[in-house]
Structure formats: structure tokens, C-alpha cells
Structure 1
Amino acid sequence: MAIYEPRIGIKQWAEADRPREKLMLHGRRHLTDAELIAILIVSGNTEESAVDLSKRILASCNHDLDALGRLEVKDLCKFRGIGEARAISIVGALELGRRRKPGTTEMVRILSAHDCHRELSPVLTDLPHEEFWILLLNRANQVITKHQVSKGGLTGTVADPKVIFKIALEHNAAYVVLAHNHPSGNLKPSPEDLLLTRNLVSAGKLLDLHILDHLIITNKSFFSFNDDGLI
């Protein structure tokens, strides 16, 4: 006859094995990915500790944090013990980590399409839909800010030139870099992409707001209109 063994929750573990206590005692770098996620979800379910539940979530993504970062709230809520609030905590934490970059007291200077991609890829990768963003620069090619212009569906998004130039003028920008993502992974500009870029370049000249580049960004690479001679 099988012997019933009650589940041991995290609170009953040795203090050094509890994720929060382990972080306080040894520092964040001593925690596994599952333990870090367990801190976010606080507790597990009636059959699993928070760490065990976190391990199962990671296993569903082949222990790939990038894949985990692509999950939506509804995907995480499919796991027993993960409600909407916990799912939002996981999604929010991973998005914050994606946007994080080494601190600097100097303004970032843009000198190439690769520099533009470095600034914009954190907000335009791993999305299931298209978004259109602009990167605004001063006359020294330093980044003032980046701004979302529109959000669309799987196959496209609409970028209103009036909105783009209004935002640029409000921030006293001298140069504008356009960018949008292709969730399909296709880097080829569509006829609509080419027409929009031409129109924005022409309008920008009248306003003394120069369009430096337009990037199409996918999860693995990017396409530069400027590098390809299209601007």
C-alpha cells in the first residue's frame, strides 16, 4: 500500500532553501530561474510548491526565457495556481527585464542602423501583432525619446503622419527614425511600407524634420531602408 506523504510547502523548507530567504542570504545570482519566478508567483497550488509550479512553466517553454517572455497572460493562466494577477506579475517582470540596459549618464548617440536597432528591438521583438514606433533625435544625433505611434493586428498597423510629426515637434526633435515590426519574420518591405516612408520623408523636409531611417524589425534580425538605399 502506498504511503501518503503530505506536500511540504516552501514555508516548511529549510530557510536557506526558500527563494526569498535564499536571495537575502546569498544574493540574486545564486537563485535558479525557477526560484526567481517562484518569488513572483508567491505560492503554488495544492499539489505543487511555487518552485515546482515555476519549473513546470519553464519546462513548457523548454527552459527558454525568451520563449517564456512571449507568453501572454491568457497562456500563463492555463497553469493551475496561476491566476490573472500572478500572470500579470510574470509578464510585467519579464518585459521590464527586456527593456533594461546598462545605465549611463550620457545620452545615447545614434550613428548607424545597428544603433537604432539596439534602441528599438526591446520594444518591438516577441510581439504577436504589429506596432509602429519612432525614435527621436536631437541635432547631435542623441536619443531624446522613443514613442509608440500605433498598434495593429497580425498583418499591419496604421501610422498617421500627423501623429508622428506632432510628437516629433512637441519634443523639439531634429531627426526621426521610423520603425515597425513584422511578427511573421519577413524582412521585405511591403508596398505600403515603401509608400509611407516616401511620404514621410517628403513631409519631413518641409518641416525641417529629417527621416534618417525606417527599420523593419523581426525577432531575429532587421531591415534598414537607409542601408538599402531606400531613403
Structure 2
Amino acid sequence: MGYNTIKQWAIDDRPREKLLLKGSNALSNAELLAILINNGTANTSALALAQQLLQAVDNHLSRLAGMSVEEIRQLGIKGLGPAKAVTIVAALELGVRTHSYQLQTQTVSSSKDAAQYLKAQLQHKTVEQFVAIYLNRANKIIRHETISTGGITGTIADPKIILRKGLECNACSLIISHNHPSGNLNPSNADKTLTEKIKQAAALVDMALLDHIIVSHEGYFSFADEGLL
């Protein structure tokens, strides 16, 4: 049975030509990845490689966005070498940064606004990270700090570091956040204790803790919305 390369497909079915004719919105995730992959192997098209890659991450782009070059290579997909993996990692990181920048320029007026920004930063991470975002009087984000990075099961956040970073940028308020790579959004007792400690310490320097938001690929949990602040 003969193997047809993408160049032998109808023009409307070729990812590059389809993008030129119809725009990027008309392409599936696999077709967009196929453009990044550029070429396949002797027996597999770039689109087929893209489909295999998506299947390997259960069709979760956020999971793929959190993977390193080595992690993509460890999936064992023949035809996805280091050069292709580098291109994919770089392109997805640009997407994450673009989305984060767009959200950062907006006013944070609700937990939903903050969660959108924080999810763009954290939901694809495979290890737990604790971050703080600092806001001015107009509720604009003026600083984003990664406080600590832990293993798969947790991380440690030092209230002294969190407040020092806020004082350095003259923040009026802050929002703390961490991700749960497992997807579980329920706060632990340790999460609740730490939140109260940071809230009390921030109040001593006239800085308001607006929220503690836990994010994952499943969604987000807001301490403020749940009456835990």
C-alpha cells in the first residue's frame, strides 16, 4: 500500500496551504502542530506525528505546553527528534507568554480575572509552584514573582520573602497562588494556615491580601470566593 505525503494531498487539506487560504483559526490543533513539525518520516506524515503527539498527552495542549524537550523525546514518537521538539517547546512557550502579557495589562477586578492570568502561568506546570502577583492602587499587576518551586507533591512559601518582594515594588495589595499538578483543587490545612499567616503579616505593612488562588488544568479555587479570607 503506497504512502501519500502531505504534498500529494489536495491543496485545501495541506496545513500550510489551508492556513494561507482560510486563516489559522480554521486549523485543528494537530494541523497547527504539523506545521511546526514541518516534515515527517519515510512512512509517517507530519500530521500523523502531530496526532500521535496529541494522543500521548491525552489531547491536552496545556500538558504539552508544560513539557521540556527531553520529556517530549521520552514519549518515544519516531520522527520527533530534538530539533522538532525544540520548535514545539519554543512555540508553545510564546503562546503562554503572549496570553499572560495580554492578561497582565488588564485590571484585576475579580477572582476570575486573577485566575485567568494565573492559569496561563501555572496550569501546565508538572511540579508545584508558589507565586505572588502584586498590584497597585488601580488593581493593575505591577510585579509577578515565583516564590518557590517544589516537587510533584508540594512547595514551601516563605511569608518574609513574599512581603519583601511587595515592599520593593510599593504594592498596595497582593494575590498568592499555587498550582496542583494532580488536578485536585481542594486546599489543604497547610494551605489555609499559610494563607492566614500571610494575610496577618501583610496587614502589618498596610498591604492587603486579596486572594489565594489554587489552579490546575481542572479550573481554579478562590479562597476569597469561598469565604476563607
TM-score (norm 1): 0.81
Aligned counterparts, 1:32-47, within 5 A? 32-47=28-43
Aligned counterparts, 1:40-119, within 5 A? 40-61=36-57, 63-66=59-62, 68-69=64-65, 72-77=68-73, 78-98=76-96, 100-101=98-99, 107-119=105-117
Matched, 1:27 2:26: no
CA-CA distance at 1:101 after TM superposition: 4.0
Whole-Å separation in 2 of the counterparts to 1:105 and 1:87: 27
Whole-Å separation in 1 of the counterparts to 2:126 and 2:133: 21
Matched residue, 1:181: 179
Which residue identity lines up with residue 213 of structure 1 in the other structure? D
TM-score (norm 2): 0.81
CA-CA distance at 1:42 after TM superposition: 1.7
Per-residue Cα deviation, 1:35-58 (whole angstroms, up to 9, x for no partner): 211111122122212122223323
The alignment partner of 1:149 has SS state of: strand
Per-residue Cα deviation, 1:77-129 (whole angstroms, up to 9, x for no partner): 21111123322322333344345449879942222222221221111213321
Whole-Å separation in 2 of the counterparts to 1:218 and 1:16: 37
Per-residue Cα deviation, 1:149-186 (whole angstroms, up to 9, x for no partner): 21111111111223222322232211000111122333
Matched residue, 1:145: 143
Whole-Å separation in 2 of the counterparts to 1:19 and 1:28: 9
Q: Which has the larger radius of gyration?
A: 1
Q: Of the candidates 106, 125, 129, which is equivalent to residue 131 of structure 1?
A: 129
Whole-Å separation in 2 of the counterparts to 1:102 and 1:181: 16
Moved more, 94-103 or 160-169: 94-103
Which residue identity lines up with residue 19 of structure 2 in the other structure? L
Per-residue Cα deviation, 1:131-160 (whole angstroms, up to 9, x for no partner): 111121111222223332211111111112
Moved more, 106-115 or 66-75: 66-75
CA-CA distance at 1:14 after TM superposition: 6.3
Whole-Å separation in 2 of the counterparts to 1:215 and 1:62: 26
Q: How many residues align?
A: 227
Which residue identity lines up with residue 186 of structure 1 in the other structure? N
Q: Of the candidates 121, 134, 140, which is equivalent to residue 119 of structure 2?
A: 121
Matched residue, 1:170: 168
